[in-house]
Structure 1
Amino acid sequence: MSLAVVTVVSGRHEHLREQIRGLARSTRPPDHHVVIAMGDPRISDIVADTDTGTGTGTGTGTATVRYIDTVDGRLPLAHARNLGAQTALDQGATILVFLDVDCIPGPHMLSIYELACEDSSNSTALLCGPVTYLPPHPGRWSEEELIAHTNPHGARPSPAVGAVESGTNYDLFWSLSFAVTARTWAQLGGFFEGYTGYGGEDTDLGATARASGIGLRWVGGAHAYHQHHAVSSPPVEHVDDIVRNARLFHTRWSRWPMEGWLAEFERRGLVARTASGRIRRLGEPL
């Protein structure tokens, strides 16, 4: 099987470098690494000059960079991931691994995803590995440090290494690290590109999978390590994106996503619910 890693990026250059180094250390290096740069013209240079210690720049010699523009200043994450997938498929990939630029792959992540994809019982499913959120760290992460910090986020299942468990709560699907076969990707039809900016597109893909009869699998040992960066909770800097994307999700699926964030925005007076249940931004007309 031919395995591709798809990464979308805007900024986060040092995170991208760490991801590239992680791919170079992988026990199963990717056959293709597709990087989609959103409004960031420096990405080719970042990929080319990243020192992996292997003498090949990217560690695999297969990094492909494609460029797209932002949309009114917003990141077109859904479109970028779809373009990355299509680019990888055009290169002959039969397994797609989506890995956010913030994430460093564990040394066995790709090999474990590949084994899960080769199992016929998982061939039509979203395959999701555990994610560890790392503390701040000066400089590069070594493989030994990553392993020592392994502590998967407790909101999602984390089976033992080698185990794969079926899931039913598709709202726990996160797009920051997952794998699919080319066949499953075709059945999904990709991310819905009506979403731009922050929030909603991954929850929508999970809803699409459930509606399409595509399974959800938790893959033990396919560890990804999310690099630290400043965040706010709730992400008030993205409130306009979240409200817009939540409305789109509600139109498509007749329920509200990101309920925790919306509730906190409402508590802070940033959004309000109308009598009909619609979410409106503060200052918008009724």
Structure 2
Amino acid sequence: MNALKNLLNGIERGSQWPSEVIIVYMNEDAYNLEHVYSFPIRSIILHTDKGINLGAARNLAMQESSTENNIFLDVDCIPEEHLIANYAKHMDEEDVLFSGQVRYLPAGYDRSKDWEDKLHQLSLPDPIRGDLQEYTYELFWSLNFGCSKKTFKQIGGFDSQYEGYGAEDTDFAFEARKHGVTLKTIPALSYHQHHATYKPPLNHLQTISTNAALFFSKWAVWPMEGWLSSFEQLGYLRRDAGNLQVLRLPTDSEIEAVRTS
């Protein structure tokens, strides 16, 4: 709830407001936001049989959108003041798949005085993409991106076969490349709100493994290579050529042992 409020407050503080905000709730009721914002908000509830489905949620958001050009932000992102204006400017100039940029906020960032005015000062660049001016298709991430309905349709939307956590955004980018859609990185910055992480993400081992196997069946390469290698080294799974076998699932105590904060 707080993450969503921070996201919406960030949009409110921006130099340009969107024509609408669509919030997709996955298998939960819409929140009572209480505050009245300067832009219309529509809430949509997506019910799925097998936990969260991020691809299906993004497809639904695009389907329900009343505008041609659209920005996607995960709920744990806070947009920088000019994020929407940056996207709008670039979308007016060309029709491609745009990737924004992300910086990470540390634990306790929101306990600082006037923290909303110091997001850049408080945050750190992404350790993998921080020095890159252009992201490759392999480094595309869906927590901050934008495109037109036309481009989204050309890509084919997200593959909703991916369920839970992992690989659906890389698959989307590979489909973009396959269909001749250019990927362009722009300085549309958002700040990722801190939450507990697991290194490696044993809490998502099952869905990561299932999604990785699906991805390999489509593209003949492994996604999330670092995580899969860590799972192998720890004895949770085994890969043999194009086959992936989960040997055992981690216990609750093993998952808690790799929690970083």
Helix, strand or coil at the partner of 1:113: helix
Q: In structure 2, what is the Cα distance between the partners aligned to 1:135 and 1:208?
A: 33
Question: C-alpha displacement at 1:33, in angstroms?
Answer: 0.3
TM-score using structure 2 length = 0.89
How far does residue 130 in structure 1 lie from its aligned partner after superposition?
A: 1.4
The Cα offsets for residues 229-267 of structure 1, whole Å up to 9 and x where unpaired, read as 001011101100001001111111111111110000000
Picking from 61, 64, 72, the partner of 1:87 is 64
- Is the CA contact (8 Å cut-off) linking 2:104 and 2:192 kept in structure 1? yes
Q: Pick one of 37, 42, 47 that aligns with 1:58.
A: 37
Find the counterpart in structure 1 of residue 71 from structure 2. Answer: 97
1:252 pairs with one of 215, 218, 229: 218
Equivalent positions of 1:197-212 (< 5 A) are 197-212=164-179
Alpha-carbon distance between aligned partners in 1 of 2:146 and 2:242, rounded to the nearest angstrom: 36
How many Å separate the matches in 2 of 1:78 and 1:94?
A: 19
1:78-125 residue CA offsets vs partner (Å, 9 max, x unmatched): 10110011111xx2x1211010000000010010011111113xx1x2
Other structure's SS at 1:27 match: coil
Unaligned runs of 5+ in 1: 1-12, 52-56, 160-164
Distance 2:26 2:248 in 1: 30
**SS class of match (2:25):** strand
CA distance in 2, matches of 1:96, 1:173: 17
Superimposed CA distance per residue, residues 176-217 of structure 1 (whole angstroms, 9 cap, x where no aligned partner) = 001112221121121011111000100100100111111111
Letter of the 2:157 partner, please give it: G
SS in 1 for 2:106: coil
Q: 2:143 aligns with which of 167, 176, 181?
A: 176
Q: Give how far 1:59 is off.
A: 3.4
Q: Which residue of 1 aligns with 2:254?
A: none
Q: 2:192 aligns with which of 226, 234, 238?
A: 226
Displacement of 1:158 after TM fit? 5.9
Q: Answer yes or no: is 1:132 the counterpart of 2:103.
A: yes
TM-score (ref. length: structure 1) = 0.81
The percentage of counterpart residues that share the same residue type is: 34
Distance 1:263 1:271 in 2: 9
Q: Distance in 1 between matches of 2:118 and 2:49?
A: 38
Aligned residues, how many?
247
Residue 246 of structure 2 is aligned to residue 281 of structure 1: yes
CA distance in 1, matches of 2:120, 2:110: 17
Mapped pair 1:18 → 2:17: no
Contact 1:132 1:151 in 2 (8 A): yes
Find the residue that maps to 2:117 and give its secondary structure.
Answer: helix
Q: 1:283 to 1:227 in 2, by over 3 A?
A: closer
Match in the other structure for 1:4: none
Counterpart of 1:3 in structure 2 is none
Q: CA deviation at 1:142?
A: 4.2
Report the CA distance shift for 1:157/1:114 in structure 2 as closer, same or farther (over 3 A): farther
- Structure 2 residue aligned with 1:37: 25
Give the RMSD, CA atoms, in angstroms.
1.9
Q: Report the alpha carbon displacement of residue 126 of structure 1 after superposing the two structures with TM.
A: 1.6
Partner SS state of residue 215, structure 2: helix
Report deviation, 1:145: 1.3
Pairing partner for 1:117 from 83, 88, 91: 91
Q: One-letter code of the match for 1:112?
A: N
State how far apart, in whole Å, the 1-side matches of 2:176 and 2:80 are.
26
